[in-house]
Structure 1
């Protein structure tokens, strides 16, 4: 009978604790202390500092969405692929310059893609889908009469809260993408989403109170409206406290009659009682214009995640690597020159120190102390005789000072000139229009209903408009707009000037038969904006022939 050695016993806890509790604790610690991914804003800052390869993370996160959005605009996948590369190339160039978007990166990329699609549609309309062509033919923008307090409240939120609401509510993306875009940990997701919804709820109610200040009854019912909506912004009526539900029900019963007769308060209650559905229905059309929601979500889910960086990014990474090698070589060259100068200075200082030491320690010659130096030995074969008073022959003693070799004449190499970074392939720098101009009427980006006139003028009938993108107002505030007309405006012509997509006009004036009217802006304007000129005729139609526009301080 053979002897079987005993098996070594396991150290530590055994049983259910070792099988279930310990693995759970290890997983919990792993997720708790695992650092979050870099947010989109942090990656843009790294790109601005020269780390071009970091932009690949933004491409991986957002390329499926941008490609799906452009696929809904185009009729073939090749055009969508080309516009997608151009969108990310433009975003990369802006990030390298340090120009951060004022909105979430997803919304910024979709807006850039829409602008490129509209420009490409103007050159090749047959490569775009029929619904997009119909939308572009009607003006390529959203209705100017549409107003949404929900969109205004969304714009008032910080960028991080806008990002989490757009990803989770509007696009309905998973938690992993949202956490990566914001740079959050998994345990922060629920709290951050709840705070964003609460902030939007409060901003909307504050806008509602400001809008309803003209009606004393709406102001009186404002607090009851907030009580009736408490908790409804989360899309559920369940509550753990029966008193809160009772207060909401009682408040709604008190304002039910007021809601039946007040359209403003009824709109606020409708928006906030089902906040998620209203965000999905109102935000994308108002912020993007073109928005095929269900088709976009289906195509985004089918898009593959890019495995390799696009061509423009690979070229930018190679260019950055070459620039780093050139700078490293330049630093090495400068360091070598400095080391050579230091060694030469040290050698010269050592030689001067030794020379000074020898001059101080060396004994003085006898004639300097008043003694007669010894005569040199005479050669018996020479005919020279030393006569009294005759000068002594001069003796030349070799110098004991060290001989310093001359400094080698090193040829000065020209300092290499830094080469500017190459623009990514497909990138197009947007053309800026100087606001002091004058801006020709034919330099518009989009228009509706206007016709071309002689000498580059545009004729504007009633209800038409001209839009000019990328108008640079500079750093000095501009307070007046000067219009040069080809003919005096018809009496009663009303001119409305808007900046960007603002609901409030920047200028509103009635032209009275002059050919060079000046219009005062409501406030001084600086920076780069989109200018929109609208015309409403009182009698004669068309009533305005615009030649140019300029802005002055």
Structure 2
């Protein structure tokens, strides 16, 4: 396993294309059939997104070479798809999702895991396929995020997960930062509504559907959940998981989003993001959210809310030693 931020073969950033062009516009250039323009376009897209994908790949692979193989495979697949279809306008999460899915497929294929590059040089073992499988208690988050419009995905991922300023996703979308800032709150609400919709669609009985709206109202209000809801959550995994995934306060939204896309690698990936290691960001986050408490417990409006105990995703990086 490599530490995140190990330098990968990043393509050159100076390509002759307008660096302010949107990802959507650059993706459209791939479909023009102009070989020279396509080469330059690919260079710009990779210059923007290669390093984060390589950082993610380095978390769960045994060597820099293996990480480069995974990042390259994911990038090639996404770029090939962009040549034939419109982009989602959210290339970063799409690339990361593709990398996880590719790693999962590799881990399940004995012909691939037999390659020396994908084996731990000390033990000869490979990372198990379970490490690239999303936890059950993040299914609604994953379903909601992937159903969102591309621009909303882009805003939410870059601001919440990457911890970048609004000007970054605004540039990727070729929109004004003030307009993007206004759309960010809408993106957060779309995401939350998507979780509620998924909870309702996947509910197995009337009782779960009955608590759908009550969960939303109670969690938005804050404070201790009413006894009826607590009693239901004590016996219903589906609603208990939904309540946890609807709890976005205390700085939890970034981790929930990352867990819904990257699974077990979420926390290491968050820790690898340059903006999160910026002292100004940390000070701003502390001022906005206060100290981050444990999962399921935080302050909002001066009232503590306690959710019932729930299975949580393990972030111990020792768990991914192969």
TM superposition score normalised by structure 2 = 0.60
- Cα deviation per residue 1:40-59 (whole Å; 9 max; x = unaligned)? 12210112113312333312
| Greater RCO structure (CA 8 Å; 6+ sep) | 2
| Alpha-carbon distance in structure 1 between the residues aligned to 2:70 and 2:46 | 14
- Cα deviation per residue 1:129-148 (whole Å; 9 max; x = unaligned)? 58998773355641685662
Task: Give 1:490's aligned residue.
Answer: none
Task: Give 1:55's aligned residue.
Answer: 42
Kept after mapping to 2: 8 A contact 1:36/1:183: no
Task: Give 2:79's aligned residue.
Answer: 92
Are residue 273 (structure 1) and residue 259 (structure 2) matched? no
The unaligned stretches of length 5 or more in structure 1 are 1-34, 231-247, 303-553
Kept after mapping to 1: 8 A contact 2:63/2:117: no
- Cα deviation per residue 1:258-287 (whole Å; 9 max; x = unaligned)? 122011555444332325755444444443
How far 1:159 moved relative to its partner?
1.9
Kept after mapping to 1: 8 A contact 2:24/2:89: no
Instruction: Give the 5 Å matches for 1:94-133.
Output: 94-96=81-83, 98-100=84-86, 104-114=90-100, 117=103, 119=106, 122-125=113-116, 127-128=118-119
Distance 1:144-1:299 versus aligned 2 partners, 3 A rule = closer
Are residue 142 (structure 1) and residue 133 (structure 2) matched? yes
Q: Secondary structure at the match of 1:174?
A: coil
Distance 1:62-1:87 versus aligned 2 partners, 3 A rule = same
Task: Give 2:29's aligned residue.
Answer: 46
| Alpha-carbon distance in structure 1 between the residues aligned to 2:86 and 2:250 | 28
Distance 1:212-1:192 versus aligned 2 partners, 3 A rule = same
Instruction: Give the 5 Å matches for 1:330-369.
Output: none
Select which of 175, 186, 197 maps to 1:206: 197
| Alpha-carbon distance in structure 1 between the residues aligned to 2:125 and 2:254 | 23
How far 1:62 moved relative to its partner?
0.6
Select which of 204, 222, 228 maps to 1:258: 228
Distance 1:266-1:42 versus aligned 2 partners, 3 A rule = same
How far 1:217 moved relative to its partner?
8.2
| Alpha-carbon distance in structure 2 between the residues aligned to 1:137 and 1:126 | 15
* Structure with higher strand content: 1
Instruction: Give the 5 Å matches for 1:348-497.
Output: none
Specify the structure having the higher radius of gyration (Cα).
Answer: 1
Distance 1:139-1:257 versus aligned 2 partners, 3 A rule = closer
How far 1:187 moved relative to its partner?
0.9
Kept after mapping to 1: 8 A contact 2:65/2:117: no
Instruction: Give the aligned length.
Output: 245
Kept after mapping to 1: 8 A contact 2:50/2:71: yes
Are residue 163 (structure 1) and residue 163 (structure 2) matched? no
- Cα deviation per residue 1:79-135 (whole Å; 9 max; x = unaligned)? 434554454344433333x23455831122223434555649524245555899877
Are residue 186 (structure 1) and residue 187 (structure 2) matched? no
Distance 1:284-1:261 versus aligned 2 partners, 3 A rule = same
Q: Secondary structure at the match of 2:246?
A: helix
Distance 1:209-1:289 versus aligned 2 partners, 3 A rule = closer
Task: Give 1:227's aligned residue.
Answer: 217
Q: Secondary structure at the match of 1:273?
A: coil
Task: Give 2:60's aligned residue.
Answer: 73
- Cα deviation per residue 1:332-351 (whole Å; 9 max; x = unaligned)? xxxxxxxxxxxxxxxxxxxx
Give me the CA root mean square deviation.
3.9
Kept after mapping to 2: 8 A contact 1:169/1:276: no
Distance 1:129-1:69 versus aligned 2 partners, 3 A rule = farther
How far 1:191 moved relative to its partner?
0.8
| Alpha-carbon distance in structure 1 between the residues aligned to 2:217 and 2:137 | 28
